[in-house]
Amino acid sequence: MPAQIIDGTALAATVRQEVAEGVEAFLASGGPRPGLAVVLVGNDPASHVYVANKVRQTEAVGMHSVRHDLAADVSEGELLALVQKLNRDPTVHGILVQFPLPAQIDPAAIVDAIAPEKDVDGFNPLNVGRVASGAANGLVPCTPLGVMRLIRSVRTDLAGLGALVVGASNVVGRPMARLLLQAGCTVSIAHHLTTDLAQRTREADILVVATGVPGLIRGQTIKPGSTVIDVGITRIALPSGKTRLVGDVAFDEAVEVAGAITPVPGGVGPMTIAQLLANTLTAARRLQT
Ligand code: GUN
């Protein structure tokens, strides 16, 4: 029987609806309108599309959106000064500096400068530490948070399951593993130096793949009945001259083996911005109390 397809587009709409209702309730209780500031440096075309989507969706759930566009040659000092201004701005509850940044700017310096209570990306070391230690007051990176919601939409009890995260980035792989551990999974992280990847993926009840290598995971290397979450999204050229978005999992093969699987596009991608909005509401509520 083919796997259940986990519909990230539909689940993201549900999350946005929950956030919109949360914003209404927060305003009704006397809270300020939650505000998200997005900072875009330079002319990266993909970043422009992402930021435009973030602004549109922020406004659609009833939040206040602030956008700052800075030139590609802006200095690190100027960007730090803007971050510090946003840290002090009482109408801003969440701050996101879009990556990648130009070479003259150290991303770690920017992430360090964002006030932890407004760090809706969850990249500031204080939030990384809070998530790692299981503290409830951290802000959790958006993609892993969205993946947990996708997994829980098909499996409610994760305790004791074997989970494998393929990819060890700070943005996805590492926080992902920490959240799965907190959910009671027995977690492994594979990365580009892992030698027996297929053996490990075949044993995983929950497989989260975030490498950016199209088609890395084949159908015969997936455990039958497992939950497969594909975070990868790569645009490939087809012989026809058209392009297509593909994930890290060979979907047509995997769908015949897995119990549930996310498609690309329409799986993890839509969840990330939805969780960003949820994090902004969380930040606004905490700043209020
Ligand atoms: N660029 C691509 N994804 C992200 C993200 O989740 N946060 C930020 N700040 N930049 C990104």
Under the banding of pLDDT at 50, 70 and 90, the label for residue 29 is very high
Strand partners, 163: 187, 206
- Mean pLDDT (whole number) for 251-273: 98
Cα–Cα dist 109/113, whole Å? 6
Query: Which residue has a Cα nearest atom 2 of ligand 1?
Result: 99
The CA distance from 92 to 211, in Å, is: 33
What residues are in contact with ligand 1 under a 6 Å CB criterion? Answer: 96-99, 121, 142
To the question of domain 33-115 being in CATH 3.40.50.10860, the answer is: yes
**pLDDT band of 187, cuts 50, 70, 90:** very high
Catalytic site residue from 57, 118, 119, 121: 121
Domains 33-115 and 142-270 share a fold: yes
- 209 touches 231 (CB < 8 A): yes
Q: Where are the alpha helices (DSSP H) in the chain?
A: 8-28, 45-60, 76-88, 107-113, 125-133, 142-152, 173-182, 197-201, 251-254, 269-288
Tell the residue nearest (CA) to atom 1 of ligand 1.
Answer: 99
Q: Whose CA is nearest to atom 11 of ligand 1?
A: 99
Rounded average pLDDT over 173-192: 98
Is the domain covering 142-270 a CATH 3.50.50.60 domain?
no
Q: What are the residue ranges spanned by the domains of the chain?
A: 33-115, 142-270
**pLDDT for 58 beyond 90:** yes
pLDDT, one tens digit per residue, over 86-141 is: 999 999 999 999 999 999 999 999 999 999 999 999 999 999 999 999 999 999 99
Atom number, ligand 1, closest to the C-alpha of residue 142: 6
pLDDT score of 207 more than 90? yes
User: Residue 73 CB: number of other CB atoms within 10 A?
Assistant: 10
Model pTM? 0.97
Ligand 1 pocket: which of 50, 83, 277 to mutate (most atoms within 8 A of CB): 50
| pLDDT band per the 50, 70, 90 thresholds, residue 55 | very high
pLDDT value for 289 = 78
| Cα dist from 258 to 122, 167, 184, 185, whole Å | 31, 20, 21, 18
Considering the chain, what percentage of its residues have pLDDT values greater than 70?
100
Cα(223)–Cα(163) distance, rounded to whole angstroms?
A: 11
Q: Band of the pLDDT at 277, cuts 50, 70, 90?
A: very high
Judge whether 223 counts as a catalytic residue. Answer: no
pLDDT score for 244: 96
Query: Does residue 104 carry a catalytic annotation?
Result: no
- If one residue of 114, 171, 231 were mutated to test the ligand 1 pocket, choosing by the most ligand atoms within 8 A of its CB, it would be 171
CA of 29 to the centre of ligand 1 (A): 32
Query: Which atom of ligand 1 lies nearest, measured to the CA of 47?
Result: 1
Residues tagged in the binding site annotation = 167-169, 233
147 φ/ψ angles, rounded to the nearest 5 degrees: -65, -40
Give the contacts of 70 (CB within 8 A, at least 6 positions apart): 39, 40, 41, 42, 78, 79, 82
85 is catalytic: no
Which atom of ligand 1 is least distant from the CA of 99? 10
Q: Which of 230, 201, 229 is nearest to 213 (CA)?
A: 230
ipTM confidence: 0.97
Cβ-based neighbours of 108, under 8 Å, separated by 6 or more: none
